[in-house]
């Protein structure tokens, strides 16, 4: 009977799950799946380790399937596929770890309470990360659960990269740049040495482009700077989030439109980004398939902002040797990669179109000064590694 680690990764538009055999040196995949397109046209699929489909279901858009229903569906599916395994731990992606959590932590009632206090800083994620933790803690108090944080990897950034130019009294309240998608970047940093060119790179710019999008500069296996800040609404425009915004806009919304905090929260987290600009969809596939000028402009703005922020990160690392694309858009859209590489031509990126169309891993020409890559992320494997380490340390 194999010892199983279950990993749950609740993103803003998807819940991904993976079950790993905890025995081998590197946790070994047993089955995986996801519900994607939450609050939209949701779709469930699950595959075994060999990639064979073992479950599939679609919901019509008018159902607007949410995180809770998706988690319940996944729970039912897993119970009916338990097979010959013993569940030994559950690892969760938790988006915000604040100042307190600089590494993965075993879940206790005190940890849950501390993480709950961070909910206002990650309203699209934290409640959905904590809900299954609470449900499981009640149903299976004996089962070890481990919280793995999107913020933890960035805590190694230099102090100047983490600070806002605010009075110390405010900074001391924890108002600082945290950065997110850290599990994804930590995984990417862990695979760079497998590619000699990337292993030798002094600095790599990684682009996690999904429903939530950010960039991170990596050097020496660490995060040096990232586009996200105090919350995951900062930086690049995203599916429904606005990204960088002059704080003066918030004051304007309060003074002139009499919007309160909740109304502004809804606007900047749920009604902006690709959805707000296009008025059509938050889904990159829909926008790329559309002939509508507003869809085109939303994509133009997305690419333009990535280009600008790549420049900012390259300044933080005084030049970069490689550019890595990952996550939903980064892994699957050759067109967005091509457009981003064009925006980064000045940095020394020269795209090889055939390699890009084929999905990489290397998508730049042999003479490209800065090499470009597609590396699929694996936040779930990173979570499984942390979960096992925490459980073993405690044992």
Ligand X SMILES: Nc1ncnc2c1ncn2[C@@H]1O[C@H](COP(=O)(O)OP(=O)(O)O)[C@@H](O)[C@H]1O
Ligand Y SMILES: CC(=O)OP(=O)(O)O
Q: Is position 9 annotated in a ligand binding site?
A: yes
Smaller CB separation from ligand X, 371 or 378: 378
Q: Is position 75 annotated in a ligand binding site?
A: no
Site string for Mg ion, 2-31 (x = CB under 5 A): ---------x--------------------
User: Which tokens hold the place of 145?
Assistant: 């659960």
Smaller CB separation from ligand X, 71 or 211: 211
Q: Note whether 11 binds ligand Y by CB under 6 A.
A: yes
Would you say 330 and 340 are in contact if contact means Cβ atoms under 8 Å apart?
no
User: Which one of the spans 56-64, 84-92, 207-215, 283-291 is the region binding ligand Y (CB under 6 A)?
Assistant: 207-215
Interatomic CA distance for residues 32 and 19, integer angstroms:
6
- Interhelix angle 293-316/334-343, rounded to 10 degrees, is 50
Residue among 62, 116, 142, 150 flagged as catalytic: 150
- Least separation in angstroms between residue 97's CB and ligand X is 18
Q: Note whether 146 binds ligand X by CB under 6 A.
A: no
Q: Note whether 37 binds Mg ion by CB under 5 A.
A: no
Q: Is position 331 annotated in a ligand binding site?
A: yes
Owner of token pair 């380790």: 49
Residue of 4, 5, 8, 12 interacting with ligand X (CB under 6 A): 12
Exposure letters 59-84 (e unless 16+ CB within 10 A, then b): beeeeebebeebbebbbebbeebeee
Site string for ligand X, 232-271 (x = CB under 6 A): -------x--------------------------------
Q: Pick from ligand X, Mg ion, ligand Y, none: which does 180 bind, CB < 5 to 8 A by kind? A: ligand Y
Would you say 219 and 202 are in contact if contact means Cβ atoms under 8 Å apart?
yes
Owner of token pair 């979570």: 383
Q: 116-124: which pairs have CB atoms within 8 A and are 24 or more residues apart? A: 121/96, 121/230, 121/231, 122/95, 122/96, 122/231, 122/232, 123/265, 123/269, 124/12, 124/212, 124/232, 124/241, 124/269, 124/270
Smaller CB separation from ligand X, 22 or 269: 269
Q: With the CA atoms of 302, 304, 306 and 309 taken in that order, what torsion angle do they form, in degrees rounded to the nearest 10?
A: -140
- Least separation in angstroms between residue 381's CB and ligand X is 15
Determine phi and psi for 186, rounding to 5 degrees: -65, -40
Owner of token pair 């950065």: 179
Q: What is the distance, to the nearest Å, from the Cα of residue 359 to the centroid of all Cα atoms in its chain?
A: 20
Determine phi and psi for 309, rounding to 5 degrees: -70, -30
Interface with ligand X in residues 291-330 (CB under 6 A): 327-329
Q: Note whether 239 binds Mg ion by CB under 5 A.
A: no
User: Which tokens hold the place of 148?
Assistant: 């793995």
Q: Note whether 234 binds ligand Y by CB under 6 A.
A: no
Q: Note whether 276 binds Mg ion by CB under 5 A.
A: no
Q: Strands (DSSP E) along the chain, which ranges?
A: 2-10, 14-21, 28-36, 43-48, 53-58, 85-94, 105-106, 145-149, 203-209, 213-219, 222-226, 322-326, 371-374
Would you say 132 and 92 are in contact if contact means Cβ atoms under 8 Å apart?
yes
Residue of 7, 30, 38, 95 interacting with ligand Y (CB under 6 A): 95
Smaller CB separation from ligand X, 231 or 368: 231
Active site residue 246: no
Owner of token pair 């919350």: 231
User: Which tokens hold the place of 369?
Assistant: 């000064």
Site string for ligand X, 178-217 (x = CB under 6 A): --------------------------------xxx-----
User: Which one of the spans 70-78, 205-213, 246-254, 292-300 is the region binding ligand Y (CB under 6 A)?
Assistant: 205-213
User: Which one of the spans 63-71, 206-214, 331-339, 366-374 is the region binding ligand Y (CB under 6 A)?
Assistant: 206-214
Would you say 262 and 221 are in contact if contact means Cβ atoms under 8 Å apart?
no
Q: Note whether 210 binds Mg ion by CB under 5 A.
A: yes
Residue of 211, 278, 378, 387 interacting with ligand Y (CB under 6 A): 211
Q: Is position 93 annotated in a ligand binding site?
A: yes
- The residue of the chain with the least Cβ separation from ligand X equals 328
Applying CB under 6 A, the site for ligand X has a residue count of 17
Q: Is position 359 annotated in a ligand binding site?
A: no
Residues annotated as catalytic (active site), given as ranges:
150
- Name the binding residues for Mg(2+): 9, 379
Return residues touching ligand X (CB under 6 A): 11-14, 210-212, 239, 283-285, 288, 327-329, 332-333
- Name the binding residues for substrate: 93
């Amino acid at each position: 009977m194999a010892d199983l680690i279950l990993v749950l990764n609740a993103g803003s538009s998807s819940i991904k799950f993976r079950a790993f055999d905890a025995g081998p040196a590197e946790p070994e995949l047993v089955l995986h799946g996801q519900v994607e397109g939450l609050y939209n046209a949701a779709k469930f699929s699950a595959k075994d380790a060999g990639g064979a489909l073992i479950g599939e279901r679609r919901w019509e858009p008018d159902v607007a399937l949410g995180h809770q229903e998706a988690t319940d569906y996944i729970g039912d599916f897993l119970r009916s596929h338990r097979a010959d395994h013993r569940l030994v731990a559950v690892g969760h992606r938790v988006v915000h770890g604040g100042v307190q959590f600089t590494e993965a932590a075993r879940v206790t009632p005190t940890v849950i309470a501390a993480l709950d206090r961070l909910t206002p800083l990650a309203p699209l994620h934290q409640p959905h990360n904590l809900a299954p933790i609470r449900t499981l803690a009640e149903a299976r108090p004996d089962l070890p659960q481990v919280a793995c944080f999107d913020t933890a990897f960035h805590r190694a950034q230099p102090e100047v990269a983490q600070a806002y130019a605010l009075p110390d009294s405010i900074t001391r309240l924890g108002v600082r740049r945290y950065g997110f998608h850290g599990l994804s970047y930590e995984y990417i940093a862990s695979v760079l040495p497998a590619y000699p060119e990337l292993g030798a790179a002094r600095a790599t710019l990684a682009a996690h482009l999904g429903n939530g999008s950010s960039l991170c500069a990596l050097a020496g296996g660490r995060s040096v700077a990232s586009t996200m800040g105090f919350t995951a609404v900062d930086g690049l425009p995203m599916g429904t989030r606005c990204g960088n915004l002059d704080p003066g806009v918030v004051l304007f919304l309060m003074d002139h439109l009499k919007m309160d905090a909740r109304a502004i929260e809804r606007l900047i987290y749920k009604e902006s980004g690709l959805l707000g600009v296009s008025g059509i969809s938050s889904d990159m596939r829909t926008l790329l398939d559309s002939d509508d000028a507003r869809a085109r402009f939303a994509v133009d703005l997305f690419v333009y902002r990535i280009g600008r922020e790549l420049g900012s990160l390259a300044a933080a690392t005084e030049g970069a040797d490689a550019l890595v694309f990952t996550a939903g858009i980064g892994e699957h859209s050759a067109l967005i990669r091509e457009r981003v590489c064009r925006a980064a031509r000045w940095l020394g990126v020269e795209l090889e179109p055939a390699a890009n169309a084929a999905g990489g891993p290397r998508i730049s020409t042999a003479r490209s000064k800065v090499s470009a890559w597609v590396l699929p992320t694996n936040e779930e494997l990173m979570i499984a590694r942390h979960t096992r380490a925490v459980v073993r340390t405690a044992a």
